[in-house]
Structure 1
């Protein structure tokens, strides 16, 4: 069975999606006590790490089982058009790099990163290219799409999804889009 790890898991929306896709969640990280309580109730079989991600040591991360896919969406207020717009330099924007640290140490076979569409214009439109470069510098071949979640919730929620798999190099992004999304996304 394929496995998944979840960073900034909240109440488990991404975990629910991973389970529906055939993955077994093996660990999750969440600092908010209310979101963690919801997650524990919904997914009692997953190991929930309830602490500030910045305090999790590299040795601890290396001791976790490496999932087949790591799924995360760092907190968005520094990217959101309605938020603080501090980009990757903001307190919450910098949390993206904590998710990246998990990928660097564990090298899961694939990842999914999700965030608000404001990431495209944050930091005078320099944040998103930095995000993609950060993933590719770790050896992940990446592709991305901007999608509206209104197919799944009764509201317009534009989101960026970056999907990557390890060892693919930078390769042909158009071909990667065909391979990864294949109309099923």
Structure 2
């Protein structure tokens, strides 16, 4: 028996590699970029790769996908990055978060992992991140988050926000927010 993972905005597979290292088997991935899809198909031929714009994927299709033990959502970061346009959740790519959230809402996986750049903390004058966190907790997920620097794994400073959420059932307080900053 193994744990399974689903990947929204999978790219060429960085998050999938991390999930495999943590003991998960990828069962599906959503990606629109043809170059990233080419790499993903070659590396993970047994995972179902949905190669289309997430906005064109119907609710019925989402409901027909197998529900993984964890869904990993790594939405595009240019609208949140301090090096990007800073359009936040209103940006063309920032709005894609809500498409990923649609998967979570429809499937209700037991766990979720959200990853993005540090700039998400200050996007939309500091309101984007609380909205994202509230989006998960309003669906019944108990969430914790951390700002982590990936420089332990790659030769550069790559500060990222990680939110981990576990479906909390019917508890009255479904929010548990913890901040730890590692450098």
* 1:170 paired residue number: 174
Change over 3 Å in CA distance of 1:120–1:172 after alignment to 2? closer
* 1:41 paired residue number: 42
CA distance in 1 between partners of 2:21 and 2:167 (Å): 23
* 1:26 paired residue number: 27
The 8 Å contact of residues 143 and 176 in structure 2, kept in 1 or not, is answered as: no
* 1:117 paired residue number: 118
Partner-residue secondary structure (3-state), 2:156: coil
Partner-residue secondary structure (3-state), 1:28: strand
Pick the structure with more helix per residue: 1
* 1:75 paired residue number: 76
Unaligned runs of 5+ in 1: 179-185
Deviations 1:150-181 (A, max 9, x none): 0111000110000001125525445xx89xxx
CA distance in 1 between partners of 2:176 and 2:163 (Å): 15
> What TM-score, normalized by structure 2, do the two folds share?
0.93
Partner-residue secondary structure (3-state), 1:29: strand
Moved over 6 A (4+): none
Matched residues, number: 176
* 1:181 paired residue number: none
CA distance in 2 between partners of 1:23 and 1:166 (Å): 18
RMSD over aligned Cα atoms: 1.4
CA distance in 2 between partners of 1:151 and 1:77 (Å): 24
**Matched ranges for 1:1-185 at <5 A:** 1-167=2-168, 169-174=173-178
CA distance in 1 between partners of 2:94 and 2:176 (Å): 29
